[in-house]
Amino acid sequence: MLARMTDATPLLDIRDLHVAVDGKEILKGLTLTVGAGEVHALMGRNGSGKSTLSATLMGHPRYKVTAGTIRYKGEDLTTIPVHERARKGVFLCFQYPLALPGVQVSNFLRQSVKAVRGDVPTKEFRPLVKKHLETLGIPQAFMTRYVNDGFSGGEKKRMEILHMLLLEPSLAILDETDSGLDIDALKVVAEGINRLRSKDRGVLLVTHYQRILDLVVPDHVHVLLSGRIVKSGGADLARELEVKGYDWLEQEAA
């Protein structure tokens, strides 16, 4: 069935989602709505199911939706083939990106943009890349290196964020992209997200730390606990968690 997107249709609408990995239920009734123009931070202890949600949204074959619904721009996301999701504007920033020795950054980005957005003439692609390199403080020499091959943690993040900006996704999912970064790399990630931020795009930012949320102020913050969202609030909630930890939420949820 064709679904039409109206102004009232949320970008991402997840209802009572249950997901199993290798037969074990990890997400147990997760409900979350991300509207266009919004940045949502998803927090929670290790093992609460954050990466399971990210992988499910990208359609990783090991993650089986056993109940509930995921609608993206009004369409059932689970029926959209994985390779089509990127074309439809879903971008996942990986926690551990792969190295592609022998593949130059410039070629990789060009081909990726072509696959997702259609061919962009070199005349337009070059200045676009240049603009993003400048914003992110990446030297031009970066473009001739091999993708993630021998990259430092910070360089891998710059690569991911540059890739994200070039693809101009409608929905960007960043799974702990900020973990283990020094302050310069963290600023690049934050700058990239803030650049992407606009009234028709949404961001789901999975993080453990307040420090990125000082740079990318979220519209909504959610806490995932044992496969369910147990608390939602504004940017204040993240600051409260920084001080109080997660124990009090476990007691509340019990």
Write out the residues near Mg ion by the rule CB under 5 A.
Answer: 50-51
Please give the residues from 9 up to 48 whose contact with ligand ADP meets the rule CB under 6 A: 21-22, 24, 26, 44, 46-48
Asked if residue 136 lies in contact with residue 188, where contact means CB atoms within 8 angstroms, the answer is yes
Task: Output phi, psi for 219, to 5 deg.
Answer: -80, -35
| Strand order through the sheet with 12-21 | 24-34, 12-21, 63-72, 75-76
Distance CA 204, CA 147 (A): 25
Which pair of tokens denotes residue 28?
Answer: 């147990």
Question: In the chain, how many H helices and how many E strands?
Answer: 9, 12
Binding flag, residue 123, ligand ADP (CB under 6 A): no
CB of 58 to ligand ADP, least distance (A): 13
CB of 185 to ligand ADP, least distance (A): 20
C-alpha closest to that of 230 among 69, 49, 104, 38 = 49
* Residue span 50-89 as binding mask against ligand ADP, x where in contact by CB under 6 A, dash where not: xxx-------------------------------------
Which partner from the list Mg ion, ligand ADP, none does 167 bind, CB cut-off 5 to 8 Å by kind?
none
91 three-class SS? strand
Which partner from the list ligand ADP, Mg ion, none does 49 bind, CB cut-off 5 to 8 Å by kind?
ligand ADP
CB of 169 to ligand ADP, least distance (A): 21
CB of 95 to ligand ADP, least distance (A): 8
Where do contacts with ligand ADP occur on this chain (CB under 6 A)?
21-22, 24, 26, 44, 46-52
